[in-house]
Amino acid sequence: MSESNRQLRLKTRPEGDVRREDFDLVAQPLPELGDGEVLIRVLYLSMDPTQRVWMRDIPQYLPPVAIGEVMRALGIGRVVASRSAHYAEGDLVQGLLGWQDYAQLHEKQLAASGYVKLGAQAQQLPLPTLLGACGMSGMTAYYGLTDIAPVQPGETLVVSAAAGSVGSIAGQIGKIRGARVVGIAGGADKCRYLVEELGFDAAVDYKAGDWKQALKAATPDGVHVNFENVGGEIMRAVLSRMVIGGRVALCGVIAGYNSDERPADDFSVAIYKRLTIRGFLILDYKQAKEAVQALGGWLREGRLKAEETVVDGLENAPLALNRLFDGSHRGKLVLRVDPAS
């Protein structure tokens, strides 16, 4: 076991792209454990668009990360020392571990929602998949299309950021449910991937000049359900294609996360199309067993494809996060913190 713990602590709030200098990389000696405490070696960290929002001092669903605080991040780690009767060396834990080599947590913190001990069945899957298709991203896609805006056979579903972690699973769930699925993504390669490898019916490259026309051509019967990950101009274009009574699972608005400018959105279309637009947060789904079982089953049957882009090295976390915004990854973006994992 390494004798020190490297941590990335927020130093300055980024403006636009995240810079390495926005974080202090500090090495701390590993602490003695107190009664009830557990030391977890961080193996993989989930890179999530919401982390860019956590870096900002604006109203949001969790407190912003404070200056000087270890950057908040979901991850998977292995217990390497324990003074808790509930955790043994070797246990795998998923939860908010942070941008650091080791997380020292009390069993009371681990008992709070947001942390789970991974069982034997989960451990049959690769760890990055447990953060992606069969983890938080997959569950978000699952509940968005099951609970928030269920899609029916024969309906048209449009998914934005469709080649990313949540979007790629949402589109595939749409196909499993018998919908006609159209993905929106940046670039010809990603669009080809959606149709040829993931089985989408059509894909629209929003970086191509004629993309609104292409969206219209790809949705001849209009759009019944929109699984929205991007917001802004893309969402407005999809809403304008929706049928009367269409439903929107408003999952994320990544187009606005990197900028302090608030878009002046015109929602009159939601009125005249009698749309139901429902925002949701996966952290409200405490019992995710149903989703994990369904996603795991589809993966085993080969009906769902999981893809991950893995970046190595804790020190690379700040710059890696920008890949969520420049689109230079496919599927789930994860950071491997422990080179041995």
Torsion angle of the four alpha carbons 110, 116, 119, 123, in this order, in degrees rounded to the nearest 10: -110
Q: How many other C-beta atoms can be found within 10 angstroms of the C-beta atom of residue 180?
A: 22
Write down how long the chain is: 341
Which one, 33 or 195, has the nearer CB to ligand NAP?
195
Quick check: 285 and 140 in contact, CB under 8 A? no
The CB-of-126 to ligand NAP minimum distance in angstroms stands at 17
The CB-of-24 to ligand NAP minimum distance in angstroms stands at 26
The CB-of-227 to ligand NAP minimum distance in angstroms stands at 9
> Which H or E run includes 270?
helix 268-272
The CB-of-127 to ligand NAP minimum distance in angstroms stands at 17
Which one, 5 or 160, has the nearer CB to ligand NAP?
160
Which one, 79 or 181, has the nearer CB to ligand NAP?
181
Burial class (CB in 10 A: 0-12, 13-18, 19+), 151: buried
Which one, 115 or 325, has the nearer CB to ligand NAP?
325
Which one, 25 or 285, has the nearer CB to ligand NAP?
285
Residue numbers at the binding site for ligand NAP (CB under 6 A) = 48-50, 137, 140, 161, 163-167, 185-186, 190, 229-230, 234, 251-252, 254-255, 280-282, 324-325, 327, 329, 333
CB neighbour burial string for 105-144, b if at least 16 within 10 angstroms, e if fewer: bbbebbeeeebbebeeebeebebbbbbbbbbbbbbbbbbb
Which one, 70 or 170, has the nearer CB to ligand NAP?
170
Quick check: 205 and 191 in contact, CB under 8 A? yes
Which one, 39 or 161, has the nearer CB to ligand NAP?
161
Quick check: 267 and 246 in contact, CB under 8 A? no
DSSP 196: I
- The tokens describing 301, both together, are 């049957």
| CA distances from residue 184 to 213, 331, 338 in whole angstroms, order as listed | 13, 14, 34
Closest CA to 78 of 130, 133, 28: 130
The CB-of-229 to ligand NAP minimum distance in angstroms stands at 4
Which one, 156 or 229, has the nearer CB to ligand NAP?
229
The CB-of-210 to ligand NAP minimum distance in angstroms stands at 16
The CB-of-106 to ligand NAP minimum distance in angstroms stands at 26
The CB-of-270 to ligand NAP minimum distance in angstroms stands at 19
